[in-house]
Amino acid sequence: MIKITIAKGDGIGPEIMNATLEILFAAGAQIETDEIEIGEKVYLSGNTSGISKEAWEVVTRNKVFLKAPITTPQGGGYKSLNVSTRKFLGLYANVRPCVSMHPFISTKHPVMDLVIIRENEEDLYAGIEHQQTDEVVQCLKLISRPGCEKIVRYAFEYAKHYGRKKVTCFTKDNIMKQTDGLFHKVFDEIASEYPEIIKEHWIVDIGAAKIADTPEDFDVIVMPNLYGDILSDVAAQITGSVGLAGSSNIGETCAMFEAIHGSAPTIANQNVANPSGLLQGAVMMLNHIGQTTIAEKIQNAWLKTIEDGIHTADIFKEGISKQKVGTKEFANAVINNLGQKPTILKTVDYSNSSVLNLPSYKRKPKAQKTLEGVDVFVHWSGTDPNELAEKIKGIELEHVKLSMITNRGIKVWPEGFKETFCTDHWRCRFKSDAGFDFNQKHIIELLSNALSQNIDTIKTENLYSFDGKSAYSLGQGQ
Ligand code: NAD
């Protein structure tokens, strides 16, 4: 008997959790549930994290968490509990299989069977945002080498373990050469350790278009957090409904299982929601805790139910479906089918399912890091970059000179275009003369000069080279 934490969540959460648990127990799952309260009620009681300290203790003690969707109240400083859970528990890999069930569920893509493996802890989801000027806000996109290595290795190990042939990587490294560039570079490095698996890379925009058009071309797709979030909804939806897909969130010690969809408040308490997404999450959970025979029994019964045409409203289609049922009736149909297998859809065999054991990340030797300059960001309400350049030149040091000014990344000085629209947020790049021992004291001097000349500096970013290679973006047009 394994103790798992469950949370019924908000909106359709309680209905789909009850339906899922009924199926699990009817199938003989060897689990005991420890229920915690999370979500809207907790948020609205004044706890901006959506979960109490006591509930966290239950989650970390049991290590396996089956979670229904929750509603995150808009605004008000409420932090997404989904994101916090993934990050606090180190659940770095989000696995989202999306499979068509043609001809039993209406879809434009009858032969789709792909798995999206989404990085789960970093990227823009670090949630580090600041307003810096009247006109400009920023969100930091953080990508780390350990983050990339862990998720890319997970994708290849997953492909190897489940006999998948190809791993595709999506990034936007033609634009974000440092962040997405690192993800792509690590993908290439790790792919070379798996010569038996085909590897390919697509720029995310055309890759997304290809998922929507020819998803059958894909097998396993690994991507940074935000792209993975968006594209797994797309992929699930084009199999027939976002209500069909489940996901696992895997870490080194803990794991969380859920549906990929949200709490769907507009259809809550009507017994119409499809419990399949959460059920798929629960099947992944049973495989994770080694109860593969039960997982297999449930999955085959579920496939048989889909094949029988017993469908909830989101997938019901005249001419294809046989019977429109509610959440509870769907669960009962799955329970009645326990022990049966589908006849046309592929029967599942989970005898090979097990937890993937990946090596822990090993920190690389430190590179030779050299400070080459500094970007000083300035809040200035003027419009003529030449005028700003004149002011900024006034804070230069003997061996540290202004080399460029950009506005929203585009070079506006020297030799900008008069057509370029400028906001009040300016990046002023200072480079040190070759051979000059530039260090943080010089940055303080620059800032001190700016202060004495009433220049409103809002932040700095150091310009480093690592092992002799400059590691910062150029200005667009530079
Ligand atoms: P949603 O996924 O809840 O709903 C999108 C659409 O899909 C709606 O039309 C909904 O009715 C339908 N749908 C979703 N699940 C369904 C199911 N099981 N059966 C039938 N139809 C289903 O997305 P949303 O409306 O953008 O978000 C609603 C709330 O959910 C928000 O508060 C959001 O923050 C939250 N959310 C939570 C999670 C999570 O807990 N993991 C994930 C995404 C969104």
User: At residue 77, does pLDDT exceed 80?
Assistant: no
User: At residue 194, does pLDDT exceed 80?
Assistant: yes
3 state SS of 257: strand
pLDDT for 86 equals 87
Q: Residue 246 belongs to what H/E stretch?
A: strand 246-250
Dihedral sign computed on CA atoms, order 288, 293, 297, 299: positive
Nearby residues of 216 by Cβ (< 8 Å), 6 or more positions away = 109, 111, 112, 113
3 state SS of 131: strand
pLDDT for 465 equals 96
- Mean pLDDT across 105-118: 94
**CA 347 to ligand 1 center in whole angstroms:** 29
User: At residue 389, does pLDDT exceed 90?
Assistant: yes
Residue pair 38/9 in contact by the 8 Å Cβ criterion: yes
Pocket test for ligand 1, best of 261, 276, 314 (most atoms within 8 A of CB): 261
Q: In this structure, are strands 166-171 and 220-223 parallel, antiparallel, or unpaired?
A: parallel
Q: Output the pTM of the full model.
A: 0.92
Dump pLDDT digits (tens) for 367-379: 999 999 999 999 9
Task: State the fold for domain 1-91+246-352.
Answer: Isopropylmalate Dehydrogenase (3.40.718)
Query: Within the chain, which residue ranges are assigned CATH 3.40.718.10?
Result: 1-91+246-352, 108-239
pLDDT for 82 equals 85
Alpha helices for 308-365 (secondary structure H) = 327-336
**d(C-alpha 309, C-alpha 104), whole Å:** 7
- Mean pLDDT across 344-354: 88
- Mean pLDDT across 290-300: 96
Dump pLDDT digits (tens) for 122-177: 999 888 999 999 999 999 999 999 999 999 999 999 999 999 999 999 999 999 99
- Mean pLDDT across 299-326: 96
Q: Whose CA is nearest to atom 40 of ligand 1?
A: 69
Query: pLDDT tier at 49 (50, 70, 90 boundaries)?
Result: confident
- Mean pLDDT across 340-355: 90
Cβ of residue 71 lying under 6 Å from some atom of ligand 1: yes
**CA 263 to ligand 1 center in whole angstroms:** 4
Query: pLDDT tier at 74 (50, 70, 90 boundaries)?
Result: confident
Q: Which atom of ligand 1 sits closest to the CA of residue 314?
A: 20
**CA 346 to ligand 1 center in whole angstroms:** 28
**What CATH code is assigned to 369-470?**
3.30.70.1570
Query: pLDDT tier at 352 (50, 70, 90 boundaries)?
Result: confident
Query: Within the chain, which residue ranges are assigned CATH 3.30.70.1570?
Result: 369-470
For the segment(s) 108-239, the CATH number from 3.40.190.80, 3.40.50.620, 3.40.50.300, 3.40.718.10 is 3.40.718.10
**CA 281 to ligand 1 center in whole angstroms:** 15
